[in-house]
Amino acid sequence: MKPDSTILAYLRGEKFSNGTSIHIYSRKEVFKEKFQLIEEIVCNKKIIHIGCCDHLPLIDLKMRHHTWLHARLCEWCQKCIGIDINRNGIDYLKNSKGYDDVFCADITNTPEKFILEENWDYFVLGDILEHVDNPCDFLKKICENYSQCVDKLLISVPNALSGFNIFYALFNREYVNTDHRYNFTIYSLSKIVYQAGMTVDRYWFCQSKPNYQITLGQKILKNSFYLQKIFFRLFPTLQHSLIMIVKVKEDK
């Protein structure tokens, strides 16, 4: 889906409303699992994967279950370089897992020469913005440092309107990754993108597969994913994640 042209004035700060209802989805979209969708977008592309390490204690577990994003990107992309500020994580990937094209760097500091020397199809920010103190400034810095060598960002973030969140709210509970600062809606993420000087190209809602590290009730979890396909075709905006393609240079 592309953003509705009627809301661009709000996203750019040209208009204001204290209560606008925005249509954000078409039921014609095909149901996609998150990794499947990301792989289709970046297939045979040259990418920089920002935040490639994930949480260090989870790398081996996710590798075993084929849910560690960087490994999957490396399988599908023409070229994939990983960047992360986590020195321990990068050292572990280099020394224990044999990943040579991963580097410890802060993408918001001085531009890295080895990135500027090539043209890239995408910078992939897989579940990164919710960990960043100021996501708008973070995106602005990427734009300032690397707009000459990359055209688009692929961003995935948690959906604030997910059915999972609503379910827990019914019991007065919140289920969280304790390092998250934010959940996002389509509008709030789009607002951040435009305030950072970029443009929304397309977006999707998508669902993550069940967490198979849970041994109790594995069969129920696996089967539930197929039931989700039916449910989320009817209620697509309740899915777990948002994926957005962002043009680094804003459309005029």
What is residue 30's predicted lDDT score, i.e. its pLDDT?
A: 63
Averaged pLDDT for residues 36-43: 94
CA distance 15 to 25: 22
pLDDT band at 21 (very low <50, low <70, confident <90, very high): confident
Query: Is 221's pLDDT higher than 60?
Result: no
Where helices occur in 65-134 by DSSP H, the ranges are: 69-76, 87-96, 113-116
- Taking the domains of the chain in order of start, what are their residue ranges? 5-12+29-247
What is residue 32's predicted lDDT score, i.e. its pLDDT?
A: 78
β partners of residue 156: 126, 243
Predicted confidence (pLDDT) per residue in 141-168, tens digit: 999 999 999 999 999 999 999 988 998 9
Region 5-12+29-247: CATH code? 3.40.50.150
More confident residue, 209 or 176: 176
From residue 151, give the alpha-carbon distance in Å to each of 91, 101, 147, 188, 246.
Answer: 30, 21, 7, 22, 8
Q: Is the pTM of this model over 0.85?
A: yes
